[in-house]
Amino acid sequence: MAYAIGNKSKAMCDICGRKFSYQHLREDWRGLKVCAVDFDSRHPQTERNAKTSDAIALRNARPDKDVDGTADWDDLDQLADIFTMHFGNDGLP
Ligand SMILES: [Zn+2]
């Protein structure tokens, strides 16, 4: 659709309500048609960057067997289980 230029038209500012030339009004970041006095550019801090959170999670992480935090690494039975699991023997002489 073709629109008229509006060089002889009048329009009201959406902020102050005064009448101006249609071409004098500008659209601000909120979509309001405003005069030069009421024109407000958007503050850069209101524009969020596509910033993601810090990477914390590990890829293919394995759960800790010591969920309750009570494991005692001096416990030879537990060490023997770990050696057996990884090396096929208990690692003890
Ligand atoms: Zn105005």
DSSP readout, 14-78? TTT--EEEGGG-EE-TTS-EE-TTT--PPPGGGS---PPPPP-SPTT----S-TTS---TT-HHH
Ligand 1 geometric centre to CA of 23 (Å)? 13
Ligand 1 geometric centre to CA of 12 (Å)? 8
Q: What is the pLDDT of residue 92?
A: 60
Partner residues linked to 27 by β-bridges: 33
Q: Residues 13, 20: contact at Cβ < 8 Å?
A: yes
Q: What is the pLDDT of residue 24?
A: 94
**Residue 10: pLDDT band by 50, 70, 90 thresholds?**
very high
Tell me the backbone φ, ψ of residue 70, rounded to 5 degrees. -105, 5
Q: Which residue has the higher pLDDT, 12 or 70?
A: 12
Ligand 1 geometric centre to CA of 25 (Å)? 8
**Domain residue limits, the chain:** 10-44
Q: Could you report the per-residue pLDDT of 42-92, keeping only the tens digit for each?
A: 888 887 777 777 888 888 888 777 667 666 656 667 777 777 887 776 666
pTM of the complete model = 0.48
Ligand 1 geometric centre to CA of 10 (Å)? 13
- Provide mean pLDDT across the span 22-46: 92
